[in-house]
Amino acid sequence: MESPILNSQNFNAYFGNNHVVKNVSMEIPRNNVVAVMGPSGCGKTTFLRCINRMHELIAGATTSGIIELNEENVYDMHAIYVRQKIGMVFQRPNPFPNLSIYDNTIAGYKLNGIKLSKSEKDGIVESSLKKAALWKEVKDSLHKKGTFLSGGQQQRLCIARAIAMQPEILLLDEPTSALDPISTASIEELLHELKKNFTLVIVTHNMQQAARVSDKTAFFYMGELVEYDDTKQMFTNPTDTRTQNYITGRFS
């Protein structure tokens, strides 16, 4: 059996004395979409931010336990390397407002001081925009600002920017919550394509979305990982009554 791409063991996260992620152990298989769901304030976004070491950027934030990428502890690696290997897409589309679509796509290289030739840049831009299902829509306006795009296109541009760095994992924090239903559907469709090349972890409040897009689902409650299983199993026959109550809308 292939080893998981990501593995957390007894992982904890704190803001000062506030214990927000409690003893989470879970394995994430390669080329899967894993949905992380649960009510507001249950620790799911914090856990996501710990995976690529963004949690530690907040004053007073600490962690304990292990998160491994390909059997190596991410907390033993250089943080910049971790964030190249584990890309992140946020809730609201956030293309750099002063940059063109082209420059937005390769912004990660500039920010990290990685020099590329014109042909290398062109290749990365085209390949990343194609993988983000945006190339056909923008190929004739690459030098217009990213903010000229619609909300759904901006979010796909942010996905292209993340995958331009050739990560192995993409973390998506409620990537469709600011989008209309048509844009949401196009992002969900894109996730199915992306998992051919990447492993995806998506935080979502939307249970229907978790059921539609994911192979496995994790349910967090009060900072704990209550249940983690194949999505179909979780939605049809959860083992924990708290999961069942959440899925059937008895609490949210």
Residue 178: which domain range? 6-247
Q: Is 222 exposed, middle or buried, given 0-12, 13-18 or 19+ CB atoms closer than 10 A?
A: middle
Residue 44 lies in a domain: yes
For the chain, how many structural domains are there in total?
A: 1
pTM confidence score: 0.95
Residue 197 lies in a domain: yes
Query: Residue 153: how many CA atoms within 13 Å on its side-chain side?
Result: 16
Mean pLDDT of 199-222: 95
Residue 232 lies in a domain: yes
Q: What is the pLDDT of residues 13-55, one digit of tens each?
A: 999 999 999 999 999 999 999 999 999 889 999 999 999 999 9
Residue 176 lies in a domain: yes
Residue 252 lies in a domain: no
Copy the structure tokens of residue 43. 């620790």
Tell me what pLDDT residue 252 has. Answer: 58
Whether the pLDDT of residue 214 is over 90: the answer is yes
Q: What is the CATH number of the domain that holds 80?
A: 3.40.50.300
Residue 1 lies in a domain: no
